[in-house]
């Protein structure tokens, strides 16, 4: 049987291999400066941090270690958001991988976990939106420099996620019991065919539901909304089955325009981990 840390690493690899995943690196597409190999190395590098979480380390330090390892490649940020979902899921799997247990896991995070989360931003450049005025001192881009302010306000990592919710659907998972991650796992299990096809179908269904928050951050809300509308039309038409070339064309178009729905990929990776861990999918 594969360990939880192994399943989490494999989830990262299966996520990047799944194709077509419109706008993102997949088995058949690279971006200009971000290649398949960077994701392979990112997944391998994250393993030690994932092992820490599986061994019972606190969420923040395990996450920081995973990000530090992930960043040991030349592509930059490959799996920061995915790890922010996977680390608490792996930690929860020590007890039971269920929504209540992972909810308790994130609610129990401390100010120390928040500090480690801020330090993680020193290992890699992550695309984030400007914070609201009252949170400027806590801009994650300040990295460890923000820690005294964090401590003064007594904010835990859960608190930080709670304040990041509008505009960050990874943070939203933290405060909503990983709803979409567990839903993604169910879809992966219910889908047909090889895992790569299931991954593509699940990714597209997630993208069709909610505008991708990374796209909104890097471009704007209208762009994110139009991508989701297009994904929804493809899902509505069951295009992966009936007109796969339309999905491939969508994938090419997004890559050409530099539009990468990375948050949707993060949730897909979390769903893959849950499905592997529950033995609901098999490799």
- Does 28 bind a second copy (CB under 8 A)? Our answer is yes
CA gap 66, 9 in Å, rounded: 11
- By beta-carbon proximity to a second copy, the closer residue of 6 and 112 is 6
Task: Tell me: does residue 278 bind a second copy (CB under 8 A).
Answer: no
Cα–Cα distance between 228 and 212 in angstroms, integer? Answer: 7
Can you give the C-alpha Rg of the chain in angstroms? 18
Cβ-based neighbours of 34, under 8 Å, separated by 6 or more? 25, 75, 76, 78
Stretch that binds a second copy, among 2-10, 94-102, 107-115, 134-142 (CB under 8 A): 2-10
H-helix segments, the chain: 4-17, 36-54, 59-70, 80-93, 99-107, 111-120, 147-153, 157-164, 169-175, 179-190, 195-209, 213-218, 221-236, 239-242, 244-256, 262-277
Q: Under rule CB under 8 A, how many of the chain's residues touch a second copy?
A: 30
**Binding to a second copy by residue 104, rule CB under 8 A?**
no
Residue from 98, 110, 196, 226 touching a second copy (CB under 8 A): that is 196
Greatest CA separation for the chain: 56
14 touches a second copy (CB under 8 A)? yes
Q: Which stretch binds a second copy (CB under 8 A): 8-16, 110-118, 163-171, 201-209?
A: 8-16
**CA atoms in the 13 A half-sphere facing the CB of 124:** 26
**Residue 145, token pair as written in the block:** 């420099």
- Say if residues 184 and 223 touch (Cβ distance below 8 Å): no
Among residues 40, 104, 135, 189, the one that binds a second copy under rule CB under 8 A: 40
Which of 20, 22, 23, 45 is the binder for a second copy (CB under 8 A)?
Answer: 45
With CB under 8 A as the contact rule, which of the stretches 57-65, 138-146, 194-202, 216-224 interacts with a second copy? 194-202
Q: Which residue has the tokens 């990112």?
A: 42
Q: How far is the CB of 126 from a second copy (least distance, A)?
A: 20
Residue 257: CB partners within 8 Å, gap ≥ 6? Answer: none
Q: By CB under 8 A, is residue 122 in contact with a second copy?
A: no
Residue from 47, 91, 119, 123 in contact with a second copy (CB under 8 A):
47
Q: Does 193 contact a second copy by CB under 8 A?
A: no
- Residue 194 within binding range of a second copy, rule CB under 8 A: yes
Stretch that binds a second copy, among 37-45, 115-123, 200-208, 211-219 (CB under 8 A): 37-45
Contact residues: a second copy, CB under 8 A: 1-3, 6, 9-10, 13-14, 17, 27-28, 35-38, 40-41, 44-45, 47-48, 69, 72-74, 194-196, 282-283
């Amino acid at each position: 049987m594969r360990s939880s840390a192994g399943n989490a690493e494999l989830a990262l690899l299966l996520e990047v291999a799944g194709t077509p995943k419109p706008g993102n690196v997949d088995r058949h597409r690279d971006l200009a400066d971000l290649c398949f190999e960077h994701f392979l190395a990112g997944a391998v590098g994250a393993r030690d941090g994932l092992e820490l979480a599986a061994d019972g380390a606190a969420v923040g330090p395990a996450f920081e270690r995973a990000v530090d390892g992930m960043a040991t490649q030349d592509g930059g940020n490959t799996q920061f958001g995915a790890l922010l979902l996977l680390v608490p899921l792996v930690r929860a799997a020590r007890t039971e991988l269920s929504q209540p247990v992972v909810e308790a896991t994130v609610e129990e995070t401390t100010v120390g976990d928040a500090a480690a989360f801020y330090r993680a931003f020193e290992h890699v450049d992550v695309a984030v939106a400007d914070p609201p005025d009252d949170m400027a001192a806590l801009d994650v881009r300040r990295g460890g420099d923000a820690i005294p302010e964090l401590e003064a306000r007594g904010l835990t990592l859960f608190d930080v996620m709670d304040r990041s919710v509008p505009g960050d659907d990874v943070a939203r998972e933290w405060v909503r019991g990983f709803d979409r991650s567990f839903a993604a796992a169910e879809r992966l299990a219910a889908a047909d065919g090889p895992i790569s096809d299931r991954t593509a179908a699940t990714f597209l269904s997630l993208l069709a539901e909610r505008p991708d928050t990374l796209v909104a951050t890097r471009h704007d809300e209208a762009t994110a909304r139009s991508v989701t509308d297009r994904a929804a039309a493809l899902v509505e038409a069951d295009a992966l089955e009936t007109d796969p070339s339309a999905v491939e064309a969508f994938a090419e178009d997004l890559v050409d325009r530099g539009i990468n729905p990375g948050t949707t990929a993060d949730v897909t990776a979390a769903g893959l981990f849950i499905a592997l861990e529950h033995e609901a999918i098999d490799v």
